[in-house]
Structure 1
Amino acid sequence: MIEISADDWDKTFAINMRGVFLCYREAAKIMIEQGKGGKIIGACSTAGYSSHTMAAYYIASKWGVRGLTQATALDLAKFNIKVNAYCPGITETDMMQSINEIMTKYREKQKEKEEKVDEVTNMPAFDWLEQPKDVANLVSFLASKDSDYITGQSIMVNGGAAFS
């Protein structure tokens, strides 16, 4: 926490909070104008439900997305607009490789200081990592008629790595 710069904080919130807010707002304007209702789906993360070391700014922004999703869902219900978010866990992507490299460098630095570093404990229950298609399947469901009575939810897809 003490190593997080204000610039890193601002950049993370600009992407994770401001970005989602702007998307929700602009999509809502169009849907309200069309008068047919609709579905808005935001990007959250399992980090919106649980914490671990070295990520206070990221975790705070994802908890914020959950709150924004709930409040926006209440505001837009009168227009028959449903607002939900998907919360992936550790997904096998290029971004995850970058995170692994950062974590490895951090752990090496901490070992030099002879400090114990908490390992990320939110690993899936399965012996494989989540795939992008697993996230896409949830998003497809949220966009479908099968989810017409779901709003204000941030739904995790993480292979049992965390529970709400």
Structure 2
Amino acid sequence: MGRVSGRSCIVTGAAQGIGRAIGEALLDEGADVCFADINAAKVAEVVRDTQAGRNGRAIACGVDVTDRTQVSEMIAKTVAAFGKLDVKFNNAGVNKPMNFLDVTEENWRMIMDINGLGVMIGMQEAAKQMIAQGTGGKIINTASIASRQGYDNVAPYCASKWAVVSLTQSGARDLAKHDITVTGFAPGVVATEMWEDVDRDLMAIGAAERPGQAMEEFAAGILKGRVAKPADITGTTTFLASADSDYMTGQIVMIDGGMTLV
């Protein structure tokens, strides 16, 4: 029996990268998982590709995490399929590098809406469902090394991930009385599609001269000597979704290979 057998989970941003890996790891450990993403077609394909041979059940849901109605409908769909909601991963996020002096209001609002407001709405709507059930639950937010240190070409992203830490702490304090824990994890440099996009954007703004340069420079400060793979993250995320972390709340776990020591 897996560590999360019988648990009903939602993972947003699950069409690729860390989110997909989180969902697949939960399935392997016996959870039922709603893979949710703004790219409904892609996340449906993920579910078709990953369902076979897994220990849990999976459904797909298209969702804009900044739209409260869509988030509420996603939770209702999950409860209809699996009977309840036990664990909510607020993982959806974006980054669009710009040099600090060039950051626009549009860039700021886009990143803060998805990475900040989207997390708050996801926490609120998940908590409402968990409170109605009366059985407690777990809310898990994706932060970043950028939640602990500012970087010059991604200022709005850093600000949004600092917001995730604050929301995690605030939610933990408010929801403890309902037996709902709120935790988070902070990845460092992870080899995913998102980093490929960031790499191209950094070249476009003159912050890197060749493909892969930005990742190489970041990786130089990693004590483990390499960038992470999504599979390096999922041991911790499954732990946070399991009963093993029941006495843990309000905390952010760094998973960065020793890049940021705090």
User: What TM-score results when the alignment is normalised by the length of structure 1?
Assistant: 0.88
SS across alignment from 1:86: strand
Tell me what 1:126 maps to.
224
List alignment gaps of at least 5 residues for structure 2: 1-99, 210-216
Change in Cα spacing, 1:78 to 1:122, as seen in structure 2 (3 Å) is: farther
Bigger mean CA deviation after superposition, 125-134 or 19-28: 125-134
1:94 CA displacement: 1.3
Read off the aligned partner of 2:140 and give its amino acid letter.
I
Change in Cα spacing, 1:133 to 1:126, as seen in structure 2 (3 Å) is: same
1:105 CA displacement: 3.1
Change in Cα spacing, 1:84 to 1:162, as seen in structure 2 (3 Å) is: same
Cα distance between partner residues in 2 of 1:63 and 1:96: 19
1:123 CA displacement: 3.2
Could you tell me whether the CA contact under 8 Å between 1:73 and 1:83 is conserved in 2? Answer: yes
1:2-151 aligned at under 5 Å gives the runs 2-107=101-206, 120=218, 123-151=221-249
Task: Give per-residue Cα distances to partners, 1:35-91, cap 9 Å, x unaligned.
Answer: 111111111111000112111111011101100100000000000100011111100
Cα distance between partner residues in 2 of 1:45 and 1:132: 14
Cα RMSD (Å) of the superposition? 1.8
SS across alignment from 1:141: helix
Structure with the larger RCO, 1 or 2 (CA within 8 Å, 6+ apart): 1
Cα distance between partner residues in 2 of 1:2 and 1:86: 29
Q: Which has the higher helix share?
A: 1
Tell me what 2:259 maps to.
161
- Identity over aligned pairs, percent: 37
Could you tell me whether the CA contact under 8 Å between 1:90 and 1:123 is conserved in 2? Answer: no
Change in Cα spacing, 1:108 to 1:85, as seen in structure 2 (3 Å) is: closer
Tell me what 1:115 maps to.
none
User: What TM-score results when the alignment is normalised by the length of structure 2?
Assistant: 0.56
Cα distance between partner residues in 2 of 1:70 and 1:53: 26
Cα distance between partner residues in 2 of 1:108 and 1:136: 31
Change in Cα spacing, 1:99 to 1:38, as seen in structure 2 (3 Å) is: same
1:106 CA displacement: 2.9
Could you tell me whether the CA contact under 8 Å between 2:219 and 2:226 is conserved in 1? Answer: no
List alignment gaps of at least 5 residues for structure 1: 111-118
SS across alignment from 2:140: strand
Cα distance between partner residues in 2 of 1:137 and 1:144: 11
Task: Give per-residue Cα distances to partners, 1:81-132, cap 9 Å, x unaligned.
Answer: 000111111001111112122223333689xxxxxxxx65873212221010
